[in-house]
Amino acid sequence: MPYYSFDLVVGGEFKNQGGIILEDIEVASDRADQLACELSQVKPELQQKGCAVRVTDRDQNEVYRTPLDPVPAWQR
């Protein structure tokens, strides 16, 4: 199973939020969405700054990114 790392993206800065071995990118993206939701609630000031959670693989390739301030469903 692959290892994925999670970072909080603030501007051009990446703040490590930890890593974990998961089944695949689908599970890792779900975890990233969950983390983004939690960070959005705990630190609402990050929403307006265009922050995101990114997922990287073992080789540091970005494989997924989700914003802390997602577009509401009614605006899609």
Place of tokens 């983004």: 36
- pLDDT band with cut points at 50, 70 and 90 for residue 76: very low
For the chain, the domains span 3-66
- Report if pTM > 0.75: yes
For residue 58, give Cα distances in angstroms to 1, 11, 15, 29, 51.
11, 23, 17, 15, 23
Widest pairwise Cα distance in the chain: 37
Rounded Cα–Cα distance for residues 35 and 12 (Å):
19
Helix residue spans in the chain (DSSP H) = 25-42
pLDDT tens digit sequence for 24-65: 999 999 999 999 989 888 888 887 788 999 999 999 999 999
Q: Tokens for 15, please give them.
A: 């703040």
> Is residue 51 within 8 Å of 45, Cβ to Cβ?
no
